[in-house]
Structure 1
Amino acid sequence: MNKWRNLLYKSRTDSLKNGLVFTILGIAIAIGANVIYAKIFGYIIGLMFILIGLFFLIFKRSDHIAIHEHAILLTVKKQIVIKKEDIKEIAYKELNTHKNPITSYYPVLLLNNGQEIFINIAFNKLINRDFEKIIKSYL
């Protein structure tokens, strides 16, 4: 049994799968451009798909988070274990985008030692409803 008890929430990361799919599709389009009449067009489309795939693989990596009963495991570049006793409160950072009328919220963990840890997973009334329920009822 896990020492942090039951797993309440684990984030899903699609950026790795999307990055691989776009990169492989771009390579296939670039190779397939040799058999079509408009080779330059095929090379350009293939290169665009490869660049989108590399963008997802390199820059669009999302944070991995696992919420257990007694701790939150946050993996950004290394794994950080935040025990439930060390969290003073959970605040929410509000983000309004100019094109989207729906406000998104990002949780910020306020620790007992005064440190703030930003969790890069947004939720609103349309996305990540299960994450919202668990993070709001965690303390």
Structure 2
Amino acid sequence: MNEYGELLYKAKTDSLKNGLVFTILGILISIGANFMYAKIFGYIFGVIFILIGLFFLIFKRKDGISIYEQAIFLHLNDQLVIKKEDIKEIAYRELNAPKNPVKSYYPILLLKDGQEIFINIAFNKLINKKFEAIIKDYI
């Protein structure tokens, strides 16, 4: 990877966290179904949540990003290489969770050919400070 310069940042995307949350939530719903009047609905919803969580854990686990000095590698189903000179601008999508005073942002790469590429890593003033510094100074 010397042709793209030094590695600045490498991480997995948020899909792994989503898989864990769905799986744990499904297990809790299934356990809580024992205390409900309509147990079958609890079991069905619990199994659905567990299956969604396992989908994220098994099939989306390899999602990641590597930021080099001259290119960004997105490790989705296949490897996508975005050269620095192809990026026109980096926009940010704001996510405001209910009852949370801290706003999170997700970067969106706007390419010169009009294509938009969403990067599934959130940052705010509390989390992913290194990623925020690198992505804001990248262009």
TM-score class, shorter-chain normalisation, is 0.5 to 0.7
TM-score normalised by structure 2 residue count: 0.68
Residues 9-62 of structure 1 deviation map (CA, whole Å, 9 limit, x = unaligned): 00146939x96xx9xxx9xxxxxxxxxxxxxxxxxxxxx9xx487365237637
- Supply the AA of the counterpart residue of 1:7: L
Q: Rg larger in 1 or in 2?
A: 1
Which string of whole-angstrom CA distances, capped at 9 and with x for unpartnered residues, describes residues 75-129 of structure 1?
Answer: 1111100000000010001110113221000000000000000000000001000
Q: Whole-Å Cα distance in 2 between the matches of residues 80 and 56 of structure 1?
A: 20
Residue in structure 2 matched with residue 83 of structure 1 by the alignment = 83
In structure 1, stretches of 5+ residues that fail to align are 27-47
Contact 1:63 1:121 in 2 (8 A): no
Partner of 2:93: 93
Q: What is the distance in 2 between the residues matched to 1:4 and 1:63? A: 20
| Closer/same/farther in 2, CA of residues 62 and 120 from structure 1, 3 Å limit | farther
Could you tell me which runs of 5 or more consecutive residues in structure 2 were left unpaired when the two chains were aligned: 28-46
1:114 is the counterpart of 2:114: yes
Amino acid in the other structure paired with 2:61: R
Whole-Å Cα distance in 1 between the matches of residues 5 and 99 of structure 2?
A: 41
TM-score (norm 1): 0.68
Distance 1:83 1:75 in 2: 14
| Contact 2:13-2:121 within 8 A present in 1 as well | no
- Work out the CA distance in 2 between the residues paired with 1:114 and 1:10: 26
Instruction: State the distance in 2 between where 1:70 and 1:112 align.
Output: 16
Partner-residue secondary structure (3-state), 1:11: strand
Q: Given that residues 108 and 118 in structure 2 are in contact (C-alpha distance below 8 angstroms), is that contact kept between their aligned partners in structure 1? A: yes
Q: For residue 103 of structure 1, what is the aligned residue in structure 2?
A: 103
Runs of 4+ in 1 over 4 A off after TM superposition: none
Aligned pairs, number: 112
- For 1:114, the aligned partner's letter is G
